[in-house]
Amino acid sequence: MTDTSLEFATIRELATRIRAGGLSPVTLAETRLERIAALDKRLHAFIATTADRALAEARAAETLLRGGHDLGPLHGIPYAVKDLYDVTGLATTAGTRLLAGNVAAQDSAPVRRLAAAGMVLVGKTHTVQFAFGGVGINHDHGTPHNPWSPTPMAPGGSSSGSGVAVGAGLLPVALGSDTGGSVRIPAALCGTVGLKTTVGRIGRSGVYPLSWTLDTVGPLTRSVEDAALVYQALQGTDAADETTVGVTPHDVLASLGDGVKGLRLAFGETMFFDDVDPEIAAAVREAGRVLRELGASVGSMAVPEVAEAMAEQRRASMVAAEALAVNGRLIDEQFDALDPVVAHRMKTGRGLSATDYFVVLRQWAALRERVRRTLADVDALLVPATMIPPRPLASIDASAESYGDANLRYLRNPAVGNLLALCAVVLPCGFTRDGLPIGLMVYAKPFDEAMALRVARAYEQATDWHRRRPDLGWAR
C-alpha cells in the first residue's frame, strides 16, 4: 500500500496498518493535512484546519501505542467536525461571519469523547448557515464542491463540508448533525455512509443547536463498519444534555456482521417512492433484491404515519421557532447580513403560536408511538435517501422557487425520520447515468441503530458501490 492509498482507506484499514507498525499516527495526520492543503482550495470542505492540535494529538497517540497503551480501533485516526461543534480556541460560526467571535472555551461533548478514544482532530468543516437547509448552499462562507463532478453540484446539507471531506478522501470520518437529514443527504449526494442516531444516544452539549427537539449527532464515513466504530465511541450520558440521561449505551459491533438471513425488511411504500427520480427508485428496488438473495424477507408495506407527519403544515415552523430561540437576536438585529434564504425561512417561526407549538409536539409524540406499532413486525424499512440526485448548483440557486423545490426534494424522505424518531443509515447503492451517487436509506425503529447498521453492512459487503472513487483531477 502506497501513501496515495491512504486517501480512501477505511478506519479499519488504517488501524490495521498502525498496529502492524507500517503507519504512524503522525505520518497519517501529516498526509491528511497535506491532502487538504492540496485539494481544498477547490473543494472548500474546511473552514479551518487545526494542524498544531492534530500533530500534538498524533504524537500523543503514537507515544501511547509505543508504550503499549492501545485505546482501541480509533486510536490515531484523523477526523473533522462540522462547524457547529465547539473546539477549544476556535470560533463556532455555524456558517455565518456574524459569529466569528464565538470562540469556544472548551470542546463539545462529542469531541471530548473522540479525544478519549485517541482520535486526532484535523479541522472544522463548512455547514449551511445555522444548519438550516438540505441543499448545502452557503452564501456567506461559500458552498463546498461535490467531489463527483467538476461542475458545481449540490453537496447536500447541512453537513456539506463533512460530506465533501469524506467523499473526496480527505479524511476517513467527519462528524455532522442531523435535524431533518443533514447527515444523510450529504452522505447520499457525496457517496459516503451516514448514520442518523436517535435523540438521546449521543450527547449534544457544545454543539450549536438548530432544533433541540430533533437535533442528533452522527458520523459520515467510508464504510458502515467505520460508522459503527465511531458511534460506539460517541455513545453515553452527557450531564449537560438531559435527553441522554437513563439511555444505556449498546454494543452495535457484536451484531454488525450477523447478516440479514431471516430478517424482515420492507420497502416503505407510503410517500417514500412518490415522485422519486426513476434511476434512484430502480437502484433502491435492486438493493432489496440483493438483500433478498442474502436471505432476508423483503416485502412492501404502508406506513401511514409517514404521510400524517408530512401533512402537518406547521412542521417547518416548528424547527424555525426552535432555531429562533437561539438565533432570534441575529434575525432581529442583523437580518440583512444573513443568508437571505436561511433568514427568511427561519423568520417564519415567528408565526407559530405557543399553543400550536405544544399541539404539534403532542402530535409527534402520538405518531411516534403509533409508528412503533406499525413497524412491530418488520426489522427495517428500505427507502430512497433522497428524491433526486445531485443537481447543478447554478440551476438550484437561480431563484427562490428552484431552491425551495430542490430543498424539499432532498429533505422529504430523511426529515420524516426525525419527526418519527427513527434511526437510519444511508449508504451508496448505485450511480446515475451521469456518474452521480445514489443513496439507499435503511430505517430502523427508535434506539435500534444496531439493526440499521447490521442491514446496511450486509448490503455493503455484497456490493461494490462503496468502492467507487471520484476522479479529482479537476481539483488538483
Q: What is the SS3 assignment for 220-231?
A: EECCHHHHHHHH
What is the identity of the amino acid at 138? N
Which is nearest to 363 in space by CA: 415, 313, 299, 320? 313
Which is nearest to 172 in space by CA: 299, 36, 291, 314? 36
Strands 380-384, 297-301: pairing kind = unpaired
Contact 288, 380 (CB under 8 A): no
The pLDDT of residue 4 is 58
Q: Where are the alpha helices (DSSP H) in 294-352?
A: 304-311, 315-333, 340-347
What the block records as the C-alpha cell of 330 is: 441575529
Is residue 182 part of the annotated active site? The answer reads yes
Chain segment 322-341, per-residue pLDDT in tens: 999 999 999 999 999 999 98
Please give the mean pLDDT across all residues of the chain. Answer: 97
Lookup result for grid cell 501513501: 3
Q: Which residues contact 80 (CB under 8 A, 6 or more apart)?
A: 46, 121, 122, 123, 124, 125, 161, 162, 165, 170, 171, 173, 174, 175
Contact 72, 114 (CB under 8 A): no
Query: Reduced to 3 states, what is the DSSP secondary structure of residue 218?
Result: strand
Indicate if the pLDDT at residue 5 is higher than 80.
no
| 432 sits in which H/E element | none
Which is nearest to 381 in space by CA: 313, 315, 446? 446
State the CB neighbour count (10 A cutoff) for residue 272: 24
Q: Sign of the C-alpha dihedral, residues 229, 148, 177, 109?
A: positive
The pLDDT of residue 258 is 98
Burial of residue 407 (CB within 10 Å: 0-12, 13-18, 19+) is: buried
User: Can you tell me the distance from the alpha carbon of 417 to that of 444, in angstroms, rounded to the nearest whole number?
Assistant: 9
Indicate if the pLDDT at residue 342 is higher than 70.
yes
Domain membership of residue 391 as a residue range: 3-475
Chain segment 242-263, per-residue pLDDT in tens: 999 999 999 999 999 999 999 9
User: Can you tell me the distance from the alpha carbon of 32 to that of 73, in angstroms, rounded to the nearest whole number?
Assistant: 18
Q: Which residues contact 364 (CB under 8 A, 6 or more apart)?
A: 309, 419, 420
- Catalytic one of 108, 182, 211, 317: 182
Contact 167, 470 (CB under 8 A): yes
Contact 9, 99 (CB under 8 A): no
Query: Reduced to 3 states, what is the DSSP secondary structure of residue 399?
Result: coil
What mean pLDDT is predicted for residues 450-473? 98
Cis peptide before 158 (omega within 30 of 0): yes
Query: Reduced to 3 states, what is the DSSP secondary structure of residue 331?
Result: helix
Lookup result for grid cell 437510519: 424
- Catalytic one of 82, 124, 196, 445: 82
Q: What percent of the chain has pLDDT over 90?
A: 98
Indicate if the pLDDT at residue 1 is higher than 50.
no
Rg (CA), the chain: 21
The pLDDT of residue 254 is 98
Lookup result for grid cell 447580513: 337
Chain segment 155-167, per-residue pLDDT in tens: 999 999 999 999 9
Confidence of residue 3 (pLDDT cuts 50, 70, 90): low
Which is nearest to 216 in space by CA: 417, 375, 10? 417
Query: Reduced to 3 states, what is the DSSP secondary structure of residue 219?
Result: strand
- Catalytic one of 24, 108, 158, 159: 158
Query: Reduced to 3 states, what is the DSSP secondary structure of residue 264?
Result: strand
What mean pLDDT is predicted for residues 144-159? 98
What mean pLDDT is predicted for residues 188-213? 98
Phi and psi at 55, nearest 5°, equal -70, -35
Phi and psi at 295, nearest 5°, equal 110, 0
Angle between helices 354-374 and 315-333 (to 10 degrees): 140
Is residue 317 part of the annotated active site? The answer reads no
Quickly list DSSP for 68-93.
T----TTTT-EEEEETTB--TTSB--
Alpha carbon distance, N-terminus to C-terminus of the chain:
22
Indicate if the pLDDT at residue 294 is higher than 90.
yes
Is residue 402 part of the annotated active site? The answer reads no
Chain segment 368-414, per-residue pLDDT in tens: 999 999 999 999 999 999 999 999 999 999 999 999 999 999 999 99
What is the identity of the amino acid at 229? L
Lookup result for grid cell 482501541: 72
What the block records as the C-alpha cell of 161 is: 463540508
Which is nearest to 77 in space by CA: 26, 139, 129? 26
Number of domains in the chain: 1
Phi and psi at 94, nearest 5°, equal 50, 30
What mean pLDDT is predicted for residues 98-126? 98
Confidence of residue 2 (pLDDT cuts 50, 70, 90): very low
Chain segment 13-40, per-residue pLDDT in tens: 999 999 999 999 999 999 999 999 999 9
User: Can you tell me the distance from the alpha carbon of 301 to that of 319, in angstroms, rounded to the nearest whole number?
Assistant: 29
Tell me, what CATH number does 447's domain have? 3.90.1300.10
